Amino acid sequence: MADIRVLIVEDDPFIAMDIETAVAEQLGDGVELIVVESVAEARRMTGRQLACALLDIDVVGGKTFDVASALQEIGTPFAFVSGSAPHEVPPSLRDVRFLRKPFSTREVAAFVKSAVGGSALEAAQA
């Protein structure tokens, strides 16, 4: 089992693959990528120990704001990766990193690297 778990909530399979590739290239084999496409699946994953999460806002079953709030409560770093406008995010979540689609895979990788931290990243790549 990987020491680093990254949750990706994205309902477009092509975008999910782009995000997966960016994260895998950054973190290597020591990462477990958990890709889900719905709010319900994402809610179930918030109970797992996660290094960070990347959330599309509009996915199957609605918006991911309650998932984001749950992650915020438990201290899991996350970013929105969305085509939605930043002003659509509730005020309590507006300080969260927002990567607007179309995003740069470099931006995604940089967020994950900073969220995971240097020592965990080195251990995952070892």
The secondary structure of the chain, three-state, reads CCCEEEEEECCCHHHHHHHHHHHHHHHHHHEEEEEECEHHHHHHHCCCCCCEEEECCEEECEECHHHHHHHHHHCCCEEEEECCCHHHCCHHHCCCEEEECCCCHHHHHHHHHHHHCHHHHHHHHC
CB count in 10 Å sphere of residue 72: 15
Digitized pLDDT (tens) for each residue of the chain, 126 residues in all: 457 899 999 999 999 999 999 898 888 878 899 999 999 999 999 988 999 999 999 999 999 999 999 999 999 999 999 999 999 999 999 999 999 998 888 899 899 989 988 545 554 555
> Hey, what are 124's tokens?
């995952």
Domain 4-121 class in CATH:
alpha beta
* Residue 31 tokens, joined: 């990462």
pTM exceeds 0.85 for this model = yes
